Structure 1
C-alpha cells in the first residue's frame, strides 16, 4: 500500500513538477518575508520591551538620536522608519521601507546611559544563568562598561540597521532559499536528462535524487551564509563611510560587542565557552556553517576604512 502511494506521489510530482516548483518557491519567499511585511504584528511583539505590564516608551533623547541618524544617512521618507524600545543590548531591525507597514528599528535601554549616568543599565534586572547580575562585581562592572556606548557608537549601530533596511537586504535574504531550490531542481532535471536516467532503473534515479537533495541543502547553507555576510559587510561599510565620527563609532561598537561577549563567556561558565570564542566572536553551531559574520572581521573592515585618507 505504501509503495503504491509513493509511486503515485512520484508520478504526480513528475507530471506537475513545474507548477509545484513555482508554488514551493513562492511559498518559501513569502514565508521568509512574512515578518518583514507585517513587522508590528510579528517582530515588534517579540522584541518589544515591557515595563510593569505595559510596552516601554522610547525616551525622547533616543527619538532625537534616531532622527539625527536618519538625517545623516540621507533618508528622505522619514515616516517609513519607526523606532521602538526593545529588550537586549544592541539594536535590531525589520521591515521594508517602501511597503505600507514601513520599517521598525529597536533601540535597547542601555542606549539611554552615559559614562556619567548608568541608570539605563543598572535599573534593569539582567538574569544570566538563572542569577541576577551583580553590577558591582568584577564581571558586572565589565559588562556595564561594555554596554555603555558613546554617541558616535550609538549612531553607527542605528545607522547600520537603517542602511540594512534601506538597501532592501530583507528581500535579498528572502530570495536565497527559493533561488537555491529552483537551481537545485532545474539542474537536477537537466543532468538527469543528459545522463539518460529517466529511462534507467528507478533505484538509480532514487539514489541520484537523494544525492542531489543533499548537495542542494549544503549549497543552500553555504549560499545563505555567504549572502548574509555580504549584506552585513555592505551595511557596515555604508554606515562607516558617512563620516569619520561614524567610522570611529563603528570600531568602538564592535569592540564593545566583543568585550560584552567575553564577559558573558565568563558569566555563563561552560555554556558560555560553547557559545563564545575567547576573542568574543560567536562559535558556529555547525562545523560546516558560519551563520554569524565574525565581529572581529567587521571591526577590521571599519579600521581599514579609517586608514584610507579620503575616509
Structure 2
C-alpha cells in the first residue's frame, strides 16, 4: 500500500518537481565527483596516494627531480609555468597524474618508487609482494619482472613528459561535460517520452524498463566518448613527443618495452588473475572497452620512425 501511494505521489506535480530537483542535484553531483579531486581536493587526493615511510612522506630525490625538470625543458614549457606541475612519490609502480593545467590548482605527477632504482641490485626485493605473496626471483618470470622495474632515465623522462602533456589537453573537460550532458540528456529523453506517449498512465514497470534502456544507452555513450578521447589524445601526445626530441623517441621505446615485460611477468606470476588482466603479448585486457592504445602498438610506433600510430 505504501509503495502504491508513493508511486502515485511521483505522478503528481509535486512528485515530478521532486524528481526534477533530484535530476539536477545528481547532475551537479556527477560534475563535483570529477571537479573536486582535480581542483579543490587535489591536495587531499595527493595525501591519499602519497608514498609514506615510517609515517612520513617520501620526498622526491634530487636525481629524479632533475629528470622531471629535464622533461619540462624538453617540452619547452615556460619557466614561470613550471610551478603548475608538482611531482611527488606515489604508491605502486605506475606513474600517474591528476588535475589540469588550466586550473590554478595545477597538476600533480605521481612518480613510482622504482624510478629511484639505479639498477636491479638496488631493488628491495623482499618488500615487493604480488597478491600478498613474495616473488620467486630466481625463476625466469621473477627475473623478467625484476629487470622491468629498473626503468631507464630516458624512459622516465618520456613517461613524465607524457603525463605533463596529457594534462594540457582538453581531456579533463571532455570527460566532465560528456558525463553531465549525457545524464541531463537521458533525463530529458525519459521525460519527453513520458509526456509524448502518456506513460505516466501506464504501469511503473514499463517506465522502469524505459529508464533502464535510456540510462544504459547514456552510460555506453559516455564510456565510448571517454575511451575514444583517451585514445585520441594519447595518439596525439605520442606523435608530438616523438617529433619533439630524440630523448622522447628512445625513451618511449624503452618505457613500453619495460611495461610489456612487466605485464608478461605478472601474467605468469599471478596465474588466473594475471591472465584476466594481461594478454600473452603484454597488453592490458579491457573487455569490450578500449581504454588505451595497445602497448605493443605504442612501442612499435617509437621503434619505427616511419610508422604511423593508428587509433583503434
When normalised by structure 1's length, the TM-score is 0.85
CA distance in 2, matches of 1:119, 1:244: 28
Aligned to 1:179: 181
Does residue 172 of structure 2 align to residue 170 of structure 1? Answer: yes
Residue 57 of structure 1 and its aligned partner are, at CA, apart by: 1.5
Q: Deviations over 1:216-237 (max 9, x none)?
A: 2332332322233223333333
User: What's the RMSD between the two structures over aligned residues?
Assistant: 2.7
Equivalent pair of 2:252/2:299 in contact (CA under 8 Å): yes
Residue 280 of structure 1 and its aligned partner are, at CA, apart by: 1.0
Aligned to 1:83: 87
Aligned to 2:113: 109
Residue 93 of structure 1 and its aligned partner are, at CA, apart by: 0.7
Does residue 237 of structure 2 align to residue 235 of structure 1? Answer: yes
Secondary structure in structure 2 of the residue aligned to 1:307: coil
Q: Deviations over 1:212-263 (max 9, x none)?
A: 2232233233232223322333333333332233122112211211110000
Aligned to 2:157: 155
CA distance in 1, matches of 2:289, 2:280: 19
> Residue 67 of structure 2 is aligned with which of 65, 68, 88?
65
Residue 64 of structure 1 and its aligned partner are, at CA, apart by: 0.7
CA distance in 2, matches of 1:200, 1:270: 49
Residue 143 of structure 1 and its aligned partner are, at CA, apart by: 0.9
Distance 1:199 1:208, change over 3 A: closer
Spell out the pairing of 1:125-274 with structure 2 (5 A cutoff): 125-190=127-192, 196-198=196-198, 201-203=201-203, 205-274=207-276
Distance 1:160 1:15, change over 3 A: same
Secondary structure in structure 2 of the residue aligned to 1:166: coil
CA distance in 1, matches of 2:152, 2:86: 22
Kindly report structure 1 stretches of 4+ aligned residues shifted beyond 6 Å. Answer: none
Aligned to 2:306: 307
CA distance in 2, matches of 1:6, 1:175: 32
Gaps of 5+ in 1: none
CA distance in 2, matches of 1:198, 1:136: 70
Residue 294 of structure 1 and its aligned partner are, at CA, apart by: 2.6
CA distance in 2, matches of 1:199, 1:264: 53
> Residue 36 of structure 1 is aligned with which of 35, 38, 43?
38
Aligned to 2:104: 100
Q: Which moved more, 1:82-91 or 1:223-232?
A: 223-232
CA distance in 1, matches of 2:250, 2:54: 37
Figure out how many residues of one structure are paired with residues of the other and give that number.
Answer: 301
CA distance in 1, matches of 2:199, 2:144: 67
Equivalent pair of 2:234/2:292 in contact (CA under 8 Å): no
